[in-house]
Amino acid sequence: MQPRIFLHSTSPQFRLQRRSQAIASKALSELDKLARAMAASCISLQLMLVVAALAAVASAQLSPTFYDTSCPRAAATIKSAVAAAVASEPRMGASLLRLHFHDCFVQGCDASVLLSGNEQDTAPNKDSLRGYGVIDNIKTQVEALCNQTVSCADILTLAARDSVVALGGPSWTVPLGRRDSIDANAAATLTDLPGPDSSRSQLEAAFLKKNLSTADMVALSGAHTLGQAQCQNFRTRIYGGDTNINAAYATSLKASCPQTGTGTSLAPLDPTTPNGFDNAYYANLMNQRGLLHSDQALFNNDTTDNAVRNFASSAAAFSSAFASAMVKMGNIEPKTGTQGQIRIVCSKVNS
């Protein structure tokens, strides 16, 4: 029989054994933490996949021919009304396009942004979004054709496309059949909408949250070939906040945007062709003439530089990518089937 060996607490063998036990215990603890983290990650991934699958199912229910029988003149009526509004005020094209973007990025393309109060009164939207009256006018015309048939969400989606076309941009086929929400989400406007001071990584995160890629983000940012921004949104950039800005451009902006004051004066997002839809926005970025910090962040020795160069050199490449990305954005979490309602008046839910 082999003799049992007893190790004294001060012996080197005992200390080595205790150290080995401690290391093993720590390793088991770390493995347990890793297993728990992996389990949590799997659950999170599964939830993300479920959400993505539900969104895919909803968008699959949309169809370009949705109103062909129930309201065949709706699309032409919307296009005509948008063309008239843009002809009267070219800036309105950018306003309708932006209204659609702010709608889709907050609980999906459901016309929640059109409900009076709530989302309209938060910091990103108040005294910023425009075009509600144009949409209301279009809705009145469409209701006269087909009572409670065409949703405000679809009207806004078509109006965004028709605004781009009216200003010389590309057209694309719009899947239809969205329904209107019966509520709005003011809190989400503060968390889901990218801001004028967003970094490139913050922009990517905001778009990825809506299942839009970096390529989609760069293409959709080209919407800033239209429209204007208030001084308060680029004041920090032109008064020393950023170094990646053309000095002469900054000086020209300071003439109408003083360092103090209300900051409500306007400057065009695209100083080259402010009322035309083209790819000049990207050429401006390459010359450090992006108006907002979030604009210039797309061309700042970073991962999106090549996409900017591509769009700056090819109007066709930009138009194609923009149209494709607009369809994807228009498919963000639509309400379909029996979800929501078809509002009679876009600014309020049905009584």
pLDDT digits (tens, 9 = 90+) for 174-187: 999 999 999 999 99
Identify the CA nearest to 341 among candidates 82, 107, 74, 150: 150
261 plus 238 within the same structural domain: yes
Confirm or deny that 273 is annotated as ligand binding. yes
Query: Is 238 a domain residue?
Result: yes
Confirm or deny that 194 is annotated as ligand binding. yes
Confirm or deny that 191 is annotated as ligand binding. no
Confirm or deny that 270 is annotated as ligand binding. yes
233 plus 155 within the same structural domain: no
pLDDT digits (tens, 9 = 90+) for 3-55: 333 333 444 444 434 555 555 566 556 656 655 655 555 444 454 444 444 44
The domain in which residue 41 lies consists of 33-62
Q: Are 333 and 108 in contact (CB under 8 A)?
A: yes
Q: What is the CATH number of the domain that holds 254?
A: 1.10.420.10
Confirm or deny that 140 is annotated as ligand binding. no
CA count, 13 A, side-chain hemisphere, 335? 22
- d(Cα 70, Cα 62) in Å, to the nearest integer? 15
Confirm or deny that 112 is annotated as ligand binding. yes
206 plus 184 within the same structural domain: no
109 Cβ neighbours under 8 A, 6+ residues apart: 100, 103, 153, 156, 157, 178, 329, 330, 331, 332, 333, 334
Confirm or deny that 119 is annotated as ligand binding. yes
Confirm or deny that 117 is annotated as ligand binding. no
245 plus 321 within the same structural domain: yes
Question: How many other C-beta atoms can be found within 10 angstroms of the C-beta atom of residue 91?
Answer: 16
Is 100 noted as a catalytic residue in this protein?
no
pLDDT digits (tens, 9 = 90+) for 266-308: 999 999 999 999 999 999 999 999 999 999 999 999 999 999 9
97 Cβ neighbours under 8 A, 6+ residues apart: 160, 163, 164, 223, 226, 227
Query: Is 342 a domain residue?
Result: no
The predicted pLDDT at position 12 comes to: 40
The predicted pLDDT at position 27 comes to: 54
Count of residues making up the chain: 351
User: Rg of the chain's alpha carbons, rounded to an integer?
Assistant: 27
Q: Out of 135, 166, 192, pick the residue that ends a domain.
A: 192
Mean predicted confidence (pLDDT) in 187-200: 98
Q: Are 169 and 281 in contact (CB under 8 A)?
A: no
Q: Are 277 and 169 in contact (CB under 8 A)?
A: yes
Mean predicted confidence (pLDDT) in 96-112: 99
Q: Out of 172, 192, 212, pick the residue that ends a domain.
A: 192
The predicted pLDDT at position 21 comes to: 57
Residue 60 reports pLDDT greater than 80: no
In whole angstroms, how far apart are CA 188 and each of 52, 73, 123, 331?
19, 35, 11, 18
Identify the CA nearest to 285 among candidates 257, 244, 316: 244
What would the 3-class secondary structure string for the chain be? Answer: CCCCCCCCCCCHHHHHHHHHHHHHHHHHHHHHHHHHHHHHHHHHHHHHHHHHHHHHHHHHCCECCCCCCCCCCHHHHHHHHHHHHHHHCCHHHHHHHHHHHHHHCCCCCCCHHHCCCHHHHCCCCCCCCCCHHHHHHHHHHHHHHCCCCCCHHHHHHHHHHHHHHHCCCCCCCCCECCEECCCCCHHHHHHHCCCCCCCHHHHHHHHHCCCCCHHHHHHHHHHHHCCEEEHHHCHHHHHHHCCCCCHHHHHHHHCCCCCCCCCCCEEECCCCCCCCCCCHHHHHHHCCCCCCHHHHCCCCCCCCHHHHHHHHHCHHHHHHHHHHHHHHHHCCCCECCCCCECCCCCCCCCC
152 plus 182 within the same structural domain: yes
Mean predicted confidence (pLDDT) in 157-179: 99
Confirm or deny that 183 is annotated as ligand binding. no
Q: What is the CATH number of the domain that holds 146?
A: 1.10.520.10
- Cα–chain center distance at 263: 24
44 plus 125 within the same structural domain: no
Q: Are 218 and 318 in contact (CB under 8 A)?
A: no
Sign, CA dihedral 290-97-179-53, equals negative
Please give the structure tokens belonging to residue 168: 């010389």
State the residue for tokens 């063998």. 13
Q: Out of 192, 208, 238, pick the residue that ends a domain.
A: 192
Query: Is 284 a domain residue?
Result: yes
Q: Which of 8, 100, 102, 293 is the catalytic position? A: 102
Count of the separate structural domains present in the chain: 3
Mean predicted confidence (pLDDT) in 217-246: 97
Query: Is 94 a domain residue?
Result: yes
Q: Report residue 182: phi and psi, to 5°.
A: -105, 5
249 plus 319 within the same structural domain: yes
81 plus 57 within the same structural domain: no
122 plus 224 within the same structural domain: no
Average of per-residue pLDDT values in the chain: 90
Query: Is 133 a domain residue?
Result: yes
321 plus 204 within the same structural domain: yes
Confirm or deny that 338 is annotated as ligand binding. no
Query: Is 93 a domain residue?
Result: yes
Query: Is 6 a domain residue?
Result: no
Mean predicted confidence (pLDDT) in 50-63: 60
**pLDDT-derived band of residue 241, with 50, 70 and 90 as boundaries?**
confident
Query: Is 16 a domain residue?
Result: no
**pLDDT-derived band of residue 128, with 50, 70 and 90 as boundaries?**
very high
42 plus 117 within the same structural domain: no
- Cα–chain center distance at 46: 24
The predicted pLDDT at position 31 comes to: 56
176 plus 261 within the same structural domain: no
